[in-house]
Structure 1
Amino acid sequence: MLGNSFTSTNHMPDILAKLTGAEVVQHTRGGARLAEQLNPKTKMGKRTQEALQSQKWDFVILQEMSNGPISSKKSFLENAGKLCEQIRENGAKPVFYATWAYQREGKKLETFGMDYDEMYQQMYEAYHQAAEGNHALIADVGKKFYELSDKEDLYADDGCHPNEKGSYIAAEVIAEVVLN
C-alpha cells in the first residue's frame, strides 16, 4: 500500500490483512503524495522503488494525498501513470484507493473552498480517470463514504481523516476489489 495517513490511520492495513488473509506492507507517511513514492532520493521513495524492483507483489494499492487528485490533478495523473507502469513491470496489478470528500459542512471542507458534492464529484472523476487511463482496478471508498454520509459518522474529529468505522469500511471496499 502506497499512501499516507488516510491509509495508515486506525491500522487500516492490518484490518485489510485480516479481511483478505494476505500480507499487507505499507509505505506511508502523513501528507505523502504519489510523487514521493517515485523519488528514490526520499526515504520512502527509495524503499518503494527497491520493493518494486526486488520483490514480487500481487497488488499495489495507490492513494494520493487527500485533496491531491483535485489540487494537483495533472501531477497526480502523471505520477499515477508512472507508478502503474512500474507496478505492471513487477507483475502486480495496480489498485487505486479512491478516497473521499472532506466531511460535509466541516471546517476542513470550508477552508478547501468547495461544497461536499463538488469535492466528491471531482475526487470521483480524478480517481476514475487515473484508473481507466492506466487500466487499473479501483477501490472506490470515496463513493461508499458518499453513499453512507447521511447515515453514518465516518470521520475523525478533523473532518478529513476516517474514524475507526471509516477505516474499516475502507478496508472492506479494498478487500472486495482484491478478492474478486
Structure 2
Amino acid sequence: MRILMLGNSLTTTHGLPDALARELGAEVRVHARGGARLAEYLNPKTRNGARTLAALAREPWDFVVLQEMSHAPATTPDAYLVSASRLCALAHAAGATPVVYATWAYRDGCAKLQRLGMTYSQMHAAMHGAFVRAARQGDALMADVCDAFFGAADPAALYAPDGVHPSESGALLAARVLAGTMASAGSA
C-alpha cells in the first residue's frame, strides 16, 4: 500500500506518518510545510505543488490524504472546499482514493481559539461540517479525527501546550483513525 500525505505540521507532528506506516504496513510519503494550505499543493510554482503534481501524474498511489491548515475549514470553508475538490479529482484521476483528514478544533480555552472568536463547540461544528462537505463533493473517505478528539474522555490530553497541535497521544489517535479509515476501505 502506498500513501501520499499532503498537509502541514498537523500531519508531521510526533511522527504521525511513521505511526500510520506501522499501523498499515504501508509506504507513506509526506509533502508538508508548516502552515501550508491545500491550495499550495495545486500550484506548480511552489515546491510542494510541483512535486505533488508530478507525484500524482507519475506514481501509483492507493490513498492521497488531504490535510488543510488548522483553522481554514472553519474560517475559510469555501476556499478549502475548492482546493479539496480539485485535489480529490487529481487523486481519482491517478487511480487513488482521496482521504479527507478531518482535523480537530483548537483546545477549549486556548488563546488561539479565543482569537478566532469561536467557542470550542462552534469551531468543532464548523470544521466537521466543512470536512463532511469536502468528502461528499470529492467522493472521498473521511478520517474523522475531528470527532475522535471532540468525543474523547479527556480531550485536553490530546493537545500539545499550544492548544493547536496534537500531543503524542493525539498524534497516535490520529494515526489510528487514519489507518482504520483506509483499512476499512481496502477490505470493502
Q: Percent identity?
A: 49
Counting only pairs closer than 5 Å after superposition, residues 19-168 of structure 1 correspond to structure 2 as: 19-148=23-152, 150=154, 153-168=157-172
Q: Normalising by the residue count of structure 1, what TM-score does the alignment of the two structures yield? A: 0.98
Cα separation, 2, equivalents of 1:75 and 1:84 = 14
Cα separation, 1, equivalents of 2:161 and 2:154 = 17
Structure 1 unaligned residues grouped into runs of 5+: none
Q: Normalising by the residue count of structure 2, what TM-score does the alignment of the two structures yield? A: 0.94
Q: RMSD of the alignment, in Å?
A: 0.9
Q: Does structure 1 conserve the Cα–Cα contact (< 8 Å) formed by 2:60 and 2:94?
A: yes
Letter in 2 for 1:4: N
> CA shift at 1:135, angstroms?
1.2
Cα deviation per residue 1:41-79 (whole Å; 9 max; x = unaligned)?
001111101100000100000000001112211111011
Structure 2 unaligned residues grouped into runs of 5+: none
Letter in 2 for 1:157: P
Partner of 2:17: 13
4+ aligned runs moved over 2 Å, structure 1:
149-152
Cα separation, 1, equivalents of 2:111 and 2:126 = 19
**What is the SS of the residue equivalent to 1:105?**
coil
> CA shift at 1:17, angstroms?
0.2
Cα separation, 1, equivalents of 2:153 and 2:121 = 11
Cα deviation per residue 1:124-158 (whole Å; 9 max; x = unaligned)?
00000000111110000010000016465000011
**What is the SS of the residue equivalent to 1:61?**
strand
